[in-house]
Structure 1
């Protein structure tokens, strides 16, 4: 099964155009399973039955893994065996009757508008790196892009005149998103004034102090520092800023389909988690609409 395992990973990269992170997750999950069945029963993937999968599940639960982790592992194996069935390497999929444990629903974390204002006010825009940080923060909040999408941005992807951004999303899909006036201004200042002085080594939009393209880790370090400088008690990350973007849009009346398009979600269900509203918004609506409020 070593060849089939390797071919499956190639299938993910080439045919499915999965991201490096996705391929890495599949690789680890399937390798863990193949090692388990070899040590536990001394069998290959082609010999696995429903009974073996059930015992493997029991083992995962005994390790007290999170439901999301178990669900991910089963999903990886289901995809692997679907591929093996297609390639006629197995005669049946042993996971057909296996039900993925339901993920516990968890509301996304987000910042209130007052906290975002506190963040913007705390950014030092007197230095070149400060102007870059301001543009970075404004862009995350204005567009809700993923960190993986942000690090791929080149200067040409930002249209200064139309105030739009070309975003290269998951699976090679591209979308245009509008950039608000505050973010557009911060980006324009950074591109025209600060970026040239950072001595860019390529066309990357966001650079580190050596002129190289910012990495995801570098962006997280910047956001951590901004959070400390603003004296915020909540942690900050690109994903939390993405949650904030979607939450604020919906709280102000944006329709779900529009937010789905802006976020680059292929499934509306992925966007529906943001339909929660803040307590302040609930109180405001109640006071303005209830006859005896």
Structure 2
């Protein structure tokens, strides 16, 4: 039977593989680490090479019974499958007990987006002489302008900006890079931030966006600052950086109708992932129809 220390060593080696060989982002690696920790907890005294499909199904059922969604369980299973694939490749494991196990389906929820007016309101705040307000405005404008994920925003370096052609080079999932346009308002604020960053930045800090102390800013700090700004602007929804990405995609699709271009700018590997925004657009059209078309008016109950 494999000891707990041996299992921990295998998990540590796998996470190191994700960082050094697959070069996944720190946020993605943290997610994998949590999922692998869940597997080790469920396995308890059972050796990893003794786990079978009925064990995995029971683990998933227990997790589902605690209220975890089908989406989170699917992600967890994907992490477990990847772990066993690594164990087969590097440690001689012959069975992947996660193969063939599917997460329970959960209702598909559409991503929350801001209306164009709400997005404009959120970003319309003065910076005055506050360096952090200028930095926040530059971050939020860039997220909305170019549809960046939080991890992509964190990973930006000053050299990724190209003001001459108005683009930013983004490193997305799996280390794939793409070139995305920057809106004129975002470019203006970013130009101002770059001058201030030169004054603030400390040796060793490489990120485009740094803290008031000149160090690389954390994802948690960005999310917190956005929530504060949304509250100040009177936007009551639960605003987080991905809402800006969703809003970018929805607004761009509504105005252009070019699904393939939106897919490329978002960095989606499959266009089916991008198609969720066509449902958002349809929701908007349905509301307009229901409000305006004579045949759409609901009959009053007698």
- Is TM more than 0.5 here? yes
Do the aligned residues in 1 keep the contact of 2:25 with 2:151 (CA within 8 Å)? no
8 A Cα contact 1:251 1:281, kept in partner? no
Partners in 2 of 1:286 and 1:63 — Cα distance?
Answer: 39
The match for 1:117 among 101, 117, 120 is 120
Give 1:239 shift: 0.4
Mapped to 1, the partners of 2:237 and 2:291 lie a distance apart of 29
Q: Give the CA RMSD over aligned residues.
A: 2.7
Q: Distance in 2 between matches of 1:12 and 1:103?
A: 28
Which residue of 1 is the match for residue 21 of structure 2? Answer: 15
Q: 4+ residue stretches of structure 1 with deviation over 6 A?
A: 285-288, 290-293
> Which of 277, 281, 285 is the equivalent residue of 1:277?
281
Q: Decide whether aligned partners of structure 1 residues 224 and 97 sit closer, same or farther in structure 2, where only a CA change above 3 A counts.
A: closer
> Could you tell me which residue of structure 2 aligns to residue 85 of structure 1?
88
* Separation in structure 1 between the aligned mates of residue 231 and residue 294 of structure 2, nearest angstrom: 44
| Contact 1:71/1:103, CA 8 A, preserved across alignment | no
Q: Secondary structure at the match of 2:24?
A: coil
Q: Distance in 2 between matches of 1:203 and 1:80?
A: 31
Secondary structure at 1:24's aligned position in 2? helix
How do residues 1-293 of structure 1 correspond to structure 2 at under 5 angstroms?
2=6, 3-38=9-44, 42-87=45-90, 89-121=92-124, 123-129=125-131, 130-192=133-195, 194-196=196-198, 198-201=199-202, 202-275=205-278, 276-277=280-281, 279-282=283-286
Deviations 1:223-273 (A, max 9, x none): 122212211111221100000000001111241111111111222222122
The 2-side partners of 1:292 and 1:27 are apart by 54
1:48·1:94 contact (CA, 8 Å) conserved in 2? yes
Residue 5 to residue 221, structure 1, CA distance change in 2 (3 Å): closer
Could you tell me which runs of 5 or more consecutive residues in structure 2 were left unpaired when the two chains were aligned.
297-302
Listed as ranges, the gaps of 5+ residues in structure 1 are none
Q: Any idea what the Cα deviations from partners look like across 1:26-46, whole Å, max 9, x if unmatched?
A: 3332333233333xxx43111
Distance in 1, Cα, partners of 2:225 & 2:234: 14
CA 1:224/1:62 → structure 2, altered by over 3 Å: closer, same or farther? closer
Deviations 1:97-135 (A, max 9, x none): 3223234311000110111222233x1132242333322
Map of 2:299 onto structure 1? none
**Distance in 2 separating the partners of 1:144 and 1:102:** 28
- Matched length: 286
- Taking the aligned partners of 1:238 and 1:223, their CA distance within structure 2 comes to 7
How far apart, in 1, do the equivalents of 2:56 and 2:222 lie? 40
- TM-score after normalising by structure 1: 0.85
Contact in 2 for aligned 1:200/1:207 (Cα 8 Å)? yes
Deviations 1:189-211 (A, max 9, x none): 3323x434x52224532232222
Q: CA distance change for structure 1 residues 58 and 169 in 2, over 3 Å: closer, same or farther? A: closer
